[in-house]
Structure 1
Amino acid sequence: MYLSLDLQYFAQEKTEKATPKKKKESRDKGQVAKSSDVNTAIILLFSFLFFMFIGSYMVEQLFIMAQFTFTEYLLTDLSEENVGAMLTEFLVQMAITMAPIMLVIILAAIFSNYLQVGFLFAPEAIKMKLEKIDPIKGFKRIFSIRALVEFLKSMLKITLVGIVTGGVLWFFLEDLLRLGLYSIEEGMSLIGNLIAIMGLGVALLLIFLSILDYMYQKYDHEKNIKMSKQDVKDEYKKSEGDPLIKSKIKEKQRQMAMSRMMQEVPKADVVITNPTHYAIALKYDDSNMDAPLIVAKGVDFIALKVINVAKNNDIMTVENRPLARALYDQAEIGDQVPEDLFKAVAEVLAYVYRIQRKI
């Protein structure tokens, strides 16, 4: 008893790099190499840079709002209209104060995404799919190598962030111990500067880690979209067409071209031969042609077919080996005879016309 096995099942290991078509399809689905750490790092960097340069403006606005509240609203009657007006005023002032930092965060988020994947609109990535809420697949995602890598990355980031912030606090320890001797304004300025320095330090650290993470995400993405050799072959067939079908189409085209050429042979004036290896059929009409025209040509088997068609239709054949070879090499079907062969072809046609007049 024998069992038949399809050997292609043993070659389905995905070892080939993704083709440009496969990469484009993955990109259209929203499957791209992207690190969320890059977004976090760039947003933190832009935010704390903003606080360093524009933070004094925000603090000033908050002080103005607090001062206005204690001077104008402290003795105001608590009526429904007054409370509504106060809330509206507070919301407007908070919006004016927070709008710049929110704008910076939005621009940083857009920039970080564009830096990684460029411009990408992939509506398929946000489509509702039942497989996304499959508990079995969710369990596999939680307990997987990728989840372990993410956990180790998180622990490493927490450790390094703690080291950076602890280092900044240690460097400014003397100033912090003297904080009780400072005025409120000086103390707040010191605390604000420390927060900005720690934020920038953490942001720079996360940018370094995010570059490593992006390299890993790119490697992992390239690995996930790898293709098997059979996948590459199937894609080639879809894009270029089945080679067998293409060969049949070409064969059919050759047959049709051969048929059209053979239909022109009976209209020729003469067929110049080699005598059996080459055959070139010429036609000339002095009323509408400047030079003789090549209506058919061929070598070996096709040459024999041209000669047989010519004989069956009483078309003269003239043996001239050098001329037949030169015409075959220098001109194509539908071309006029080259100028350097005019004299030789003219002699052949004159000979043919003399024989036909005698007949």
Structure 2
Amino acid sequence: MSEETDQESKTEAATERKVRDAIEKGDVPFSREAPVFASILGLLVCLSLVVRGQAAALARDLSSFLDHPGGFSLASAEDALSLMHATGFALARFLTPILLVLIGFGLVASLAQNVPSLVADRIAPKWNRISPVSGWSRIFGRSGQVEFLKAVLKVSSVSLVVLLLLRSEQGKAVSAMFVDPSQLPELILTTAIRLVSAVSIATIVIVAGDLVWARLRWQRSLRMSRQEIKDEHKQTEGDPSVKARLRSLAQDRTRKRMLGQVSRATVVIANPTHFAVALRYEPSEGPAPIVLAKGQDLIALRIREIAEQNGIAVIEDKPLARSLYDAVQVDQMIPAEFYRAVAQILFFLFARQR
């Protein structure tokens, strides 16, 4: 009951990370009916293209044994072994192409659904797989009920198709008693091909539905609750409170480093308490003044305080201070449009120092 309640609480689609983790663990959608359908198609191909030619070759290989069964010497174990080798080799040549075709179709059906991958956890022994309680829930749970309905539908549809086909072939079966025995293999092969074709047509709808069901069941099993999505987001992106704390610490370090450079400034341009920009100009260091620090409100007041403590001139120019604060970052040279205004201030300071 608790498991069903927990599953009902998972109403959100799985995130990309959970889907990726599930695929890496080997948890992928897989239809069991697809390989069965592929085997039926493989059998149809074998009956249509392989069996007819291989049956003739097998008949030729065994014709001497069938026509003259007493012509083989069985006086010793070597004679019996030789006869078994000859017969086995003939049967192997007949069955090998059929087995290869069936195996090939089965592999294609499996590979077409998912890329193969080796996951040790999927093949590791687990006690819950032999637990009677787990087995009971698998058999009588929703998945077990769906598998039972699929089996009933498959048996019913295939039985109906086979019954209708055999009824239509009833006349041929009766007339076969009066035909040449050499024509019976061809008649049986033709009937088998029609029978397998009808079965494959009857099961194709079941296979298509099972492919869709397998995908939907897989997506449902991966669904997450909103809390799980939040927890995953925290693990991926980091806890917002921790990130905010780290960002605050980084800003504090940057602010302390910036205020430590104010003592090297040439001039501080203020507005008059809301904004402050500390500039340094040394011709040997660059062609234009560099912004060493900038701030507003409390930081602006702190910049002015440090400047006054170090005897650095503070010039109040509201438009220039606001424009420099918005346009220039710390440790950058001022743009060309500020050259004239800043040059006038520096010229005034240098003239006053003389």
Q: Which residue of 2 aligns with 1:215?
A: 212
| Mapped contact 1:50–1:101 kept (Cα < 8 A) | yes
Amino acid paired to 1:272: I
Within the candidate set 222, 232, 235, 1:225 is matched to 222
Q: Does 1:19 align with 2:23?
A: no
Instruction: Give the distance between the partners of 1:94 and 1:342, measured in 2 at CA.
Output: 98
Q: Does 1:191 align with 2:177?
A: no
Higher mean C-alpha displacement, 256-265 vs 136-145: 136-145
| Mapped contact 2:50–2:97 kept (Cα < 8 A) | no
Q: Which residue of 2 aligns with 1:323?
A: 320
Within the candidate set 251, 255, 274, 2:252 is matched to 255
1:300 positional shift: 2.0
What are the Cα deviations for residues 149-200 of structure 1, in whole angstroms up to 9, with x where unaligned?
2222211111110111122223333222211122223221111111112112
Within the candidate set 3, 20, 24, 1:28 is matched to 24
Higher mean C-alpha displacement, 119-128 vs 91-100: 91-100
Amino acid paired to 1:58: Q
SS at match of 1:30: coil
1:337 positional shift: 0.9
1:158-197 to 2 correspondences below 5 Å: 158-197=155-194
Q: Which residue of 2 aligns with 1:297?
A: 294
Q: Please, which runs of 5 or more residues in structure 2 have no aligned partner?
A: none
Query: What TM-score does the superposition give when structure 1 sets the normalisation length?
Result: 0.90
Within the candidate set 81, 86, 103, 1:84 is matched to 81
SS at match of 1:59: helix
Instruction: Give the distance between the partners of 2:270 and 2:42, measured in 1 at CA.
Output: 83
Amino acid paired to 2:337: D
SS at match of 1:178: helix
Q: Please, which runs of 5 or more residues in structure 1 have no aligned partner?
A: 1-8
Q: Which residue of 1 aligns with 2:332?
A: 335
Q: Higher relative contact order by CA 8 Å / sep ≥ 6: 1 or 2?
A: 1
Instruction: Give the distance between the partners of 2:95 and 2:197, measured in 1 at CA.
Output: 20
What are the Cα deviations for residues 210-268 of structure 1, in whole angstroms up to 9, with x where unaligned?
11122122222222221111111111111111111111111111111111111111111
* Count of residues paired in the alignment: 349
Amino acid paired to 2:245: K
1:89 positional shift: 3.6
Instruction: Give the distance between the partners of 1:232 and 1:127, measured in 2 at CA.
Output: 29
Instruction: Give the distance between the partners of 1:237 and 1:323, measured in 2 at CA.
Output: 44
1:117-132 to 2 correspondences below 5 Å: 117-132=114-129
Q: Which residue of 1 aligns with 2:55?
A: 59
SS at match of 2:72: coil
CA 1:86/1:346 → structure 2, altered by over 3 Å: closer, same or farther? Answer: farther
Q: Which residue of 1 aligns with 2:285?
A: 288
SS at match of 1:38: helix
Instruction: Give the distance between the partners of 1:78 and 1:319, measured in 2 at CA.
Output: 125
Instruction: Give the distance between the partners of 2:7 and 2:43, measured in 1 at CA.
Output: 51
CA 1:289/1:75 → structure 2, altered by over 3 Å: closer, same or farther? Answer: same
| Mapped contact 1:265–1:306 kept (Cα < 8 A) | yes
Q: Which residue of 1 aligns with 2:239?
A: 242
Within the candidate set 40, 50, 57, 1:44 is matched to 40
| Mapped contact 2:25–2:119 kept (Cα < 8 A) | yes
Within the candidate set 247, 272, 276, 1:279 is matched to 276
| Mapped contact 1:12–1:230 kept (Cα < 8 A) | no
| Mapped contact 1:262–1:306 kept (Cα < 8 A) | yes
RMSD: 2.2
1:289 positional shift: 0.7
Instruction: Give the distance between the partners of 2:260 and 2:277, measured in 1 at CA.
Output: 14
Amino acid paired to 2:251: R
SS at match of 2:261: helix
1:48 positional shift: 0.8
Q: Which residue of 2 aligns with 1:346?
A: 343
Amino acid paired to 2:297: D
| Mapped contact 2:268–2:307 kept (Cα < 8 A) | yes
SS at match of 1:314: coil
